[in-house]
Amino acid sequence: MVIEPPTYLLHWRSRVYSIIGLIVLLVIIVILAVTIGSVHIPFSATIGILFSRLPWVDMSPTWTGTLETIIFDIRLPRVILAGLVGSALATAGATYQGLFRNPLADPYLIGVAQGAALGAVIGFMLPPAWHSIGFGIIPLLAFCGAVVSTAVVYNLARVGKTLPATTLILAGVAISALLASIVSYLVISSGEKIHGIMFWLMGSLSLSQWSDVIVTLPYVILGVTIILLYARPLNLAQLDEDQAQQLGINVERLKLVLMAAATLITAAAVSFVGIIGFVGIIVPHAVRLIWGVDHRFLLPLSVLTGAVFLILADMIARTVMAPTEIPIGVITAICGAPFFLYLLRRRRKLIF
Amino acid sequence: MIKIEAQDVCLSYNRKIVLSGLTFQLRPGEMVGLIGPNGCGKSTVIRALSHTIVPYSGKIFLDRQDITRLPRPDLARLLAVVPQMPLLPSAFTAFEIVLMGRNPHLGLFQYEKQKDLTIAWQAMGKTGTQPLAKRRVGELSGGEIQSLLIARALAQETKAILLDEPTANLDIGRQSEVLDLIKALCREDNLTVLAALHDLNLAAQYCDRLILINNGQIYAEGTPGEVITADTVAAVYGAESCVYKHPANGLPCVLLSADISRNNSDRRKNLEDTR
């Protein structure tokens, strides 16, 4: 009998290299995304502008102040917000898919999207006086709507002290349908505001500012950190609940913590940019196809891949038909679906 | 070394009592078999003993501690369960599944260390599953999965193991391998073992004591010779049989007698009456 296990069994090394590689890729993509846009900026200028802001770099500017404004106040917050939203949606999607052992789960599974939509639409319908408070009433109401609707779904689905996954999903579908009908009614009766509402509902990053990034960042960091800490218990949740409990997992607490964290980051993500579909379902699957099902790697790799994917999608959305912007949801679906199908056909292996 | 004690336990599903008045003890170093007809509640007893379901009434103690008050990781360090044909995520490798047995020994912020990998690997060695380590669970046969689940329970390093039909998918050679291993662990490491078995002959050969459940109650309890008789087999299972003594060790062996004089509808009615 061999006493020591062969070291290759867990593929830890190659997966750690993948994480490092993706971090490098993310940095490159960020630089690329702030360079490319309707105003032409030389690549060297972008590098110079970005690096001159680092505290230990001393550089005399060879570029105009306008370029610096475009990069710093227009493109960079947008790119960072895209990255945050992509990370949040991909991580939340991976969490829900793992928690409910359901490959069709996405971040909007339990009513977050329609709750946020209702909140946002109400925000749009409020008289203009309301819109002058602080950083914006629409993200605030969207966030509240998302959290409240998820809480309602959670409480409706609870049976005694337990939370059966099927009941939860069904309650989520029912509440989403109910909220969607209210949203549709409000949209139709919204008059001239319909354009802004539709733009929000389809998702857009065009109004991103630094203040959005600053508000979203703490939620995403907190939620993602919690989820990453629970990666090993999430692996055990892939077994049935009996086995997970017999292996020392408090399944009900695991569900509550992970759902709260995933809801938090999803709500924070959709509040400013609207409902961007497809990221939360496709990124985790792509990661699973490439790197496997172990959540200790699936989750961090989803965080990074989600950011890369959404930054690229947003870059395409604002450049291909410039100056007209394509809704980012259209891009995520058009780019994501074929890529996903390609992965599905190429690697016919067990992925879930 | 740990003693498991059930005191007047009633178990229910959806407020319907399925088992009542269960009182028994499981002691270290003793291998106990749980037998009874299909659907009599053998798995339910195992679920209750591992705090997967909570008794309707009565209490279960692990060394005088009420198991419903033990935190789950603590319980999982004392007691492991080998479930019957459970759901396993098909994309995980066999080694990853066995390594999950180390979970109760790790805190939230810890990852498996070399020591945990070694323990899991040795558990696979004991159950002969090392050659499967890299294979995905979805590609394994029922028998291989059974051995893997036993390896996972061993990786848990507990003082008690509950097994639900551990030989259900195994051929006769693997049956004896698995039960020999469990019996050896029970004797050498003084483990407390409860195995739900439906094969009366295996139960008689390997167990020191048998608990026979029928109609929601303990019907008989004692040594295999005391519990397995032609009368109990007829009364509990509704099957005509001869019970012989094994030529090598004198333990009871059940041989089914085909009763061709009785017509089939009679036989079915008889079976329904006894359930």
Give me the phi and psi of B39, to 5 degrees please: 75, 10
Task: Give residue A348's pLDDT.
Answer: 58
Does A147 reside within a domain?
yes
Q: Which two tokens stand for residue B126?
A: 């004991």
Does residue A316 register a pLDDT over 60?
yes
Query: What is the per-residue pLDDT across A55-71, written as a single tens digit (0 to 9) for each?
Result: 776 667 677 777 778 88
The CA distance from B192 to the nearest CA of chain A, in Å, is 16
The reply to whether B159 and B234 lie within a common domain is no
pLDDT for the residue numbered B203: 92
**What pLDDT is stored for residue A265 in this prediction?**
92
Select the residue from A247, A249, A351 to test the B interface by mutation, using most B Cβ atoms within 10 A.
A247
> pLDDT band at A241, cuts 50/70/90?
confident
CA atoms within 13 A on the CB side of A145: 31
Which residues 280-309 of A are in CB contact (within 8 Å) with B? Answer: 288, 292-294, 296
B22/B49 same-domain check? yes
Q: Supply the CATH number for residue B52's domain.
A: 3.40.50.300
Crossing angle between the packed helical segments A210-229 and A295-319, to the nearest 10 degrees: 160
- End residue of a domain, out of B187, B202, B227: B227
Q: Is the pLDDT of residue A10 over 90?
A: no
* Range of the structural domain that residue B249 is part of: 229-275
A249 in B contact zone (CB under 8 Å)? yes
Question: Is B24 found in the same domain as B79?
Answer: yes
Residue among B148, B153, B154 nearest B134 (CA): B148
| Enclosing domain of residue A108 | 65-346
Mean pLDDT of chain A: 85
pLDDT of residue A179: 93
Q: How far is B90 from chain A (nearest CA, A)?
A: 7
More confident residue, A248 or A48: A248
Does A102 contact chain B (CB < 8 Å)?
no
Residues of chain B with C-beta less than 8 angstroms from the C-beta of A241: 52
In this predicted structure, what is the pLDDT of residue A345? 75
Print pLDDT tens along chain B (275 aa). Answer: 788 988 888 998 878 888 888 999 999 989 999 999 988 888 899 999 999 988 888 899 998 889 889 999 999 999 999 998 888 888 888 999 999 999 999 887 777 888 888 899 999 998 888 898 888 998 888 888 988 999 999 999 999 999 999 988 788 988 898 899 999 989 988 999 999 998 999 999 999 999 999 988 899 999 998 999 888 888 888 888 888 888 888 888 988 887 655 555 555 555 555 55
Same domain, B20 and B150: yes
Which token pair is B140?
Answer: 């394994």
Residues B91 and B111 grouped into a single domain: yes
Q: Name the token pair of A137.
A: 């009433």
Q: Residue A163: inside a domain, yes or no?
A: yes
Please give the radius of gyration of chain A, using alpha carbons only, rounded to the nearest integer. Answer: 21
Calculate Rg over the CA atoms of chain B.
19
B235 and B171 share a domain? no
Residues B251 and B215 in one domain: no
Query: How far is it, in rounded angstroms, from Cα A183 to Cα A173?
Result: 15
- pTM here is 0.86
Structure letter (DSSP) for residue B52: S
Residue A307 lies in a domain: yes
**In chain A, pLDDT over 70 holds for what percent of residues?**
91
Low-confidence winner among A11-20, A108-117, B169-178, B181-190 (lowest mean pLDDT) = A11-20
B219 and B239 both lie in a single domain: no
Q: Helix, strand or coil for residue A25?
A: helix
Are B145 and B244 members of one domain?
no
Provide the number of structural domains found in chain A.
Answer: 1
Element (H, E) at A313: helix A295-319
Residue A134: pLDDT band (50, 70, 90) is low
Distance CA B153, CA A33 (A): 51
Q: How many domains does chain B have?
A: 2
Contacts of B83 in chain A (CB under 8 A): 242-243, 246
Location of structure tokens 């060297």:
A44
Query: pLDDT tens, B60-81?
Result: 999 888 988 999 999 999 999 9
Do B181 and B168 have their domain in common?
Answer: yes
B171 and B259 fall within a common domain: no
Report yes or no on A93 lying in a domain: yes
How many angstroms separate the CA atoms of B135 and A238, rounded?
17
User: Cβ of B103 and A232 within 8 Å?
Assistant: yes
**Which residues of chain B are within 8 Å of residue A294 when distances are taken between CB atoms?**
92, 96
Contact with chain B for residue A248, Cβ under 8 A: yes
Residue A265 lies in a domain: yes
- Asked if A236 and A345 count as a contact pair (C-beta separation under 8 A), the reply is no
Per cent of chain A over pLDDT 90 is 34
**Per-residue pLDDT band at A130 (split at 50, 70, 90):** low
pLDDT of residue A2: 56
Which chain A residues touch B52 with a CB distance below 8 Å? Answer: 241-242, 245-246
Whole-angstrom distance, CA of residue A255 vs CA of residue A101: 12
Asked whether the beta carbons of residue B96 and residue A3 sit closer than 8 angstroms, the reply is no
- Angle (CA) B49-B51-B52 rounded to 5° is 110
Give yes or no: residues B55 and B106 share one domain.
yes
A120-158 burial, b for 16+ CB within 10 Å, e for fewer?
bbbbbeeeeeeeeeeebbbbbbbbbbbbbbbebbbeebe
User: Does any domain span residue A329?
Assistant: yes
| A137-192: pLDDT as tens digits | 888 888 899 999 999 998 898 887 778 888 888 999 999 999 999 999 988 887 77
In a domain, A234, yes or no: yes
CATH of the domain at A82: 1.10.3470.10
- In angstroms, the CA B98 to CA B96 distance is 6
Residue A311, in any domain of the structure: yes
How much is the average pLDDT of A291-296? Answer: 87
Is the Cβ–Cβ distance between A350 and A285 less than 8 Å? no
CB atoms within 10 A of CB B142: 10
Task: Confirm or reject contact between A225 and chain B (CB < 8 A).
Answer: no
Residue type, A261: A
ipTM confidence: 0.85
